[in-house]
Amino acid sequence: APAIHGLLLVALTRLRQRPEQAHTVVDQAVQAALELMPGLKNMVNGVLRNALRQRDQWESWAEADEEARLGFPRWWIARLRASAGESWEAALAAGNQRPPMAIRVNTRRTTIDAVLAGLEGAGLVVRRLDNDALLLDRPVPVGRLPGFSDGLLSVQDAGAQWAARLLAPLAGERVLDACAAPGGKTAHLLECADVELLALELDSLRAQRVDSNLARLGLTARVQVADCRRVERWWDGRPFDRILADVPCSASGVARRHPDIKWLRRETDIAQFAAQQAEILDALWQTLAPGGTMLYVTCSVFDEENAGQIARFCALHADAERVPVCGEPDLKLLPNAEHDGFYYALLRKQA
């Protein structure tokens, strides 16, 4: 019975996390079983009480099983161990913690210092990071953020706030955001400079979220529902000076925001995402002006979608030149207490 199986898993997890609440957990699980399948309430009671009696044995089993101990699928653990060096276990541990909450300031309408003062005045503990993201010590409802409804600030992960800074659009340039929803990076680009921006989004409902985000911030862009790979359907032939390619990916860097991802995702999905990303890169490259730059972004921690993807692209496109990011060939952010996992690579099209 899937419902009872799920109930037992939740109850066992709670017993492990809060052993001092054992009596309450068992009692509530039995009551839940009584509502779900009354005939199995005694079994639920017996399984949980047996687990309490054999706690040490269960704990040793869990510690010996890497998947149980780390809380991620084995294939996920193996990939991260191979690519993340000594940081792999810390990244997995961060992936099981509550995600941080960071603020992006709309510098079109206010200053970072003014927003910082407003947040602290509202009793919030805030820290300014290297990329000017403001990190709260704990998440709060957006209604508690002074200036949110007035478009003075947005909630955006600190790792995501590198995108606009790295692409660094200049006033008057023509910019493409190829996979725009929900519009956080789109808005950030517009906050950075007066640019002519086209935002593409495949899903019409998600495209509406881009529009509503821009409206709250007092920003303007042309938002178009289109598949960025089908260039002939949306491109007017005028090349772009800068392109943001924030491509669909495994979302392995943001799994703590969507905990079901790591258990629903399959290892075979990674190759499928990589193939889709390759199609997007190849399609967008033809729309980039000579001398223009394209920023490739994923919220993945897997090399096949990140450095491996860029290596493949550069091998096929002789006019693609790598541009250093923060003094390195690329920027690899693993999940930690400050930000989610992201990958950034900057490419220039040789003139």
In the chain, what are the domain boundaries?
2-64, 101-154, 158-349
Distance (Å) of CA 59 to CA 5, 77, 88, 321, 326? 19, 20, 23, 52, 43
**pLDDT greater than 80 at residue 310:** yes
pLDDT cut 70: percent of the chain above it: 100
What does the mean pLDDT of the chain come to? 96
CATH match of 101-154 with 3.30.70.1170: yes
Q: Which two tokens stand for residue 302?
A: 């897997």
What is the per-residue pLDDT for 16? 83
Specify the amino acid at residue 292.
G
By annotation, the residues acting in catalysis are 299
pLDDT tens digits along 208-264: 999 999 999 999 999 999 999 999 999 999 999 999 999 999 999 999 999 999 999
d(CA 26, CA 5): 15
The fraction of the chain above a pLDDT of 90, given in percent, is 89
Q: Quick one: tokens of 94?
A: 């961060």
Confidence of residue 63 (pLDDT cuts 50, 70, 90): confident
11-56 pLDDT per residue, tens: 998 988 888 889 999 999 999 999 999 999 899 999 999 989 988 8
| CB-count exposure of residue 301 (10 Å: 0-12, 13-18, 19+) | buried
Give the three-state DSSP class for 45.
Answer: helix
- The model carries a pTM of 0.90
What are 224's strand-pairing partners? 200
- Per DSSP, the three-state class of 218 is coil
Distance CA 3, CA 52 (A): 21
Is residue 27 within a helix (H) or strand (E), and if so which, with residue range? Answer: helix 22-36
Q: What six digits make up the tokens of 336?
A: 């930690």
**Among 45-49, 168-172, 346-350, whose mean pLDDT is lowest?**
45-49
C-alpha Rg value of the chain to the nearest Å: 23
Which residues have CB under 8 Å from 282's CB, separation 6+? 313, 316
pLDDT tens, 285-306?
999 999 999 999 999 999 999 9
- Identify the pLDDT of residue 7: 94
CATH superfamily of 158-349: Vaccinia Virus protein VP39 (3.40.50.150)
